[in-house]
Amino acid sequence: MSKGSNRRPGNDDDYRDNFDKIFSNKRPERGSFVYDPVSKSLVSKEDYDEMRTMGQANAPMVMTDIAGYRSMQTGEWIAGRRQHREHLKEHKLIEFGNEKIPAPKTRAYNSDEVKRELSARLANY
């Protein structure tokens, strides 16, 4: 027998009671949970979404106007989104990060022609 084969002396009834308190017979709750910083506990995602949206009006989201700024090109004050777009068009400027990148050109080639051209160039090399 090994050293750990024998049970330690103790009260078996207390062991069973504590085991039931800790692990109980109820089934584990399944699903996705989120930590709620207000209640400081795990809450199901559905309940968390409901709690977050309570008190908020069911209305469309509206994008606010951009804050005013001084143009680096002319020094004039740009007060809103419309004036910003007109200023960019008037001075042929682009917003960094908003420019459209053209799709790369695809070239169709005949593999037989490429093989012939490569072999001809390598023969002259």
Please state, in angstroms and as integers, the Cα–Cα distance from residue 25 to each residue in 16, 19, 20, 73, 85, following that order.
12, 10, 7, 73, 66
DSSP one-letter code for 77? E
User: Structural domain of residue 70, as residue ranges?
Assistant: 66-97
Q: Which pLDDT score, from 0 to 100, does residue 70 have?
A: 94
59 found inside a domain: no
81 found inside a domain: yes
Q: Which pLDDT score, from 0 to 100, does residue 113 have?
A: 87
Contact 95, 88 (CB under 8 A): yes
32 found inside a domain: no
Token look-up 């109980």 returns 24
Give the total number of structural domains in the chain: 1
| 95-113 residue pLDDT tens | 887 777 888 888 787 888 8
